[in-house]
Amino acid sequence: MSEVPRYDVVVIGAGMSGMYLTYRLRELGLSFRVYEAGTDLGGTWYWNRYPGARFDSESYTYGYSFSEELLEEWEWSEHFSAQPETLSYLNYVADKFDLRKSIQFETRIENATYDEAQNIWEIRTGLSECVQAKFLITAIGVLSAPYIPDFDGIGNFRGGSWHTSLWPHQPVSFGDKNVGVIGTGATAVQMIPEIAKDVGHLTVFQRTANYCVPAGNGPIDAETQLKIKGSYPEIWKRCSETFGCFLHGFDDRSALEVSPETRQAFYEELYQERGFALWLGNFADIMTNNEANETLAEFIREKIHARIDDPKVAGKLVPMDHAFGTKRVPLEHGYYEAYNRENVALVDIRATPIEEITAKGVRTTAAEYEFDIIIYATGFDAVTGAFSNINIRGEGGQLLNDKWIDGPLTYLGLQTAGFPNLFTVVGPHNGSTFCNLPRCIEQNVEWVTACLRYMRDNKIERINPTVEAEEAWTAHVNETVEGTLIPQTDSWFMGANIPGKKRNFLLYAGGSPFFREKCEEIVANGYEGFEFS
């Protein structure tokens, strides 16, 4: 029998988290292996190749910050980088730091079992290859388990169909084709204007209208490029101070305490700004007070109406059923204008629901639409979905999916009791879930690798949070959201986009600065809430 390879650490996933872990674990001198299901690295930016895929974060706030040399060398061409450029960036990073040699591609991990007697994780791939590691680190992303609704007849369609995050690697020629898109979340909002330019005819099936706001993208000119390169320390400082590690931070004033004229002028100013200014740079009570929120919702509704030629179409695109910002706000690049094109039609599937997918297309309660291609922009089993796809068994053979059946239970979103030596980078209830991700990925990875260093230096073999610490953290996470309007709305934030999934807040709404402070304080108190042995 061949011997089972044994590492100090196994990492699952080679997206931005797994790549940075590779860099830090190597620096630490530990033996490790990274397993990645894709044929190459990049995670989100490897999988999501749909036309129009790009950052919703300003590019210069999104790259890794750990290497000054890298910051000096790399130039983003646009304020919101498109997916091909981002993937090139990640490949550049991988080459520069020689990351690939630690990663095994085309290897999906399906089982990971903790052996209590040996204090070891046994990890199995889909090919039944087995490896062992003292530590297991998941770096499997927040939006990496695609969701396609279980429509009747879905297998009968004779044309091409796929989920946006499983976009073909070969170029798709739309030519004069008839294309249907189901879903109008952040993904569809980026994709629709791009496809509309190329297709014969596009039909969009919308269940819920969203509050989409202009991204304000554009090329970065040479002067701005120089300015960006000269101001990275200020950029990182600004990001570290704001709620979500963006350049935009909430305004302390109440939307209701200023005059209507001041309020309107402020909204207008934010609407013209780049990125999430209107969401995360707005009056803070937009997210906590329905009356305040409604002043902004109404402002955006008027903007939508003004941009759509046909008032009937505008009426369908105007959100009336939820508060602004309680679902992820899509940033758009000419989204509303796409509906002014003659080759684009909008179907309101709340009024006329989809009954089935047929051999020829989509049948709603009102009509059958024939397509050459159907694109499912129907989102993800967010945050916990990627965990559900792996059988992770902890002490006593307990399945993580069973433990989390009523919602995630974690300490800091980094560990879960009964699963010793398992770290969940960007896990549920982790500060990184409501964050300009790379900023929080770096924090998570640095925290975990510092912990591994501490354990090695102090000859500690095992780390496991206490049940009390986990309960307190979970209660705290729920408190952070209870003061906001978020729980009012069904969204992937609440796990409410997946039929049968228990409604539960999956993110962390206490803000990145607080999360970071908490992580540091726990370390300063001798890893309070964790048990070492």
Residues that bind ligand NA7 (CB under 6 A): 143, 149, 182-188, 207-208, 328, 349, 354, 377-380, 492, 497
Assess contact for 420 and 462: CB atoms under 8 A. Answer: yes
Select the residue whose beta carbon is closest to ligand NA7 and give its number.
185
- Residue where the block lists tokens 């000054």: 68
- Where b means 16+ CB within 10 Å and e means fewer, 194-224 reads bbbebbebbbbbbbbbbbbbbbbbeebeeee
**Nearest distance in Å: CB 255, ligand NA7:** 24
**Nearest distance in Å: CB 83, ligand NA7:** 12
Which of 7, 39, 13 lies closest to 26 in space, CA to CA? 7
Give the integer Cα–Cα distance in Å for 89 and 83: 10
Assess contact for 214 and 331: CB atoms under 8 A. Answer: yes
Burial environment of residue 143 by CB neighbours within 10 A (0 to 12, 13 to 18, 19 or more): buried
Which of 438, 406, 408, 424 lies closest to 512 in space, CA to CA? 438
**Nearest distance in Å: CB 333, ligand NA7:** 14
Please, which residue, 163 or 201, has the CB nearer to ligand NA7? 163
Please, which residue, 387 or 492, has the CB nearer to ligand NA7? 492
Assess contact for 124 and 111: CB atoms under 8 A. Answer: yes
Please, which residue, 35 or 380, has the CB nearer to ligand NA7? 380
**Nearest distance in Å: CB 148, ligand NA7:** 8
Please, which residue, 102 or 484, has the CB nearer to ligand NA7? 484
Work out the end-to-end distance of the chain between its first and last CA atoms, rounded to an integer number of angstroms: 32
Please, which residue, 24 or 49, has the CB nearer to ligand NA7? 49
3-state SS class at 346 = strand
**Nearest distance in Å: CB 15, ligand NA7:** 14
Please tell me what DSSP assigns to residue 146: B
Please, which residue, 400 or 507, has the CB nearer to ligand NA7? 507
Give the integer Cα–Cα distance in Å for 451 and 527: 9
Give the long-range contacts of residues 160-163, CB within 8 A, separation 24 or more. 160/372, 160/373, 160/374, 161/373, 161/374, 161/375, 161/376, 162/375, 162/376, 163/375, 163/376, 163/377, 163/378
Please, which residue, 112 or 383, has the CB nearer to ligand NA7? 383
Please, which residue, 183 or 427, has the CB nearer to ligand NA7? 183
Which of 463, 458, 419 lies closest to 138 in space, CA to CA? 419
Assess contact for 410 and 429: CB atoms under 8 A. Answer: yes
Please, which residue, 285 or 381, has the CB nearer to ligand NA7? 381
Percent of the chain as helix, strand, coil, to the nearest 5: 40, 20, 45
**Nearest distance in Å: CB 191, ligand NA7:** 9
Burial environment of residue 317 by CB neighbours within 10 A (0 to 12, 13 to 18, 19 or more): buried
**Nearest distance in Å: CB 444, ligand NA7:** 18
**Nearest distance in Å: CB 329, ligand NA7:** 9
**Nearest distance in Å: CB 304, ligand NA7:** 16
**Nearest distance in Å: CB 483, ligand NA7:** 22
Please, which residue, 385 or 420, has the CB nearer to ligand NA7? 385
Please, which residue, 133 or 382, has the CB nearer to ligand NA7? 382
**Nearest distance in Å: CB 26, ligand NA7:** 30
Q: How many other CB atoms sit within 10 Å of the CB of residue 174?
A: 20
Please, which residue, 186 or 481, has the CB nearer to ligand NA7? 186
Instruction: Give, for 104, the enclosing helix (H) or strand (E).
Output: strand 103-104
**Nearest distance in Å: CB 250, ligand NA7:** 19
Give the integer Cα–Cα distance in Å for 150 and 140: 24
Assess contact for 299 and 264: CB atoms under 8 A. Answer: yes
Please, which residue, 50 or 530, has the CB nearer to ligand NA7? 50
**Nearest distance in Å: CB 336, ligand NA7:** 16
What does the block give as tokens for 275? 């990125």
What does the block give as tokens for 334? 């000419």
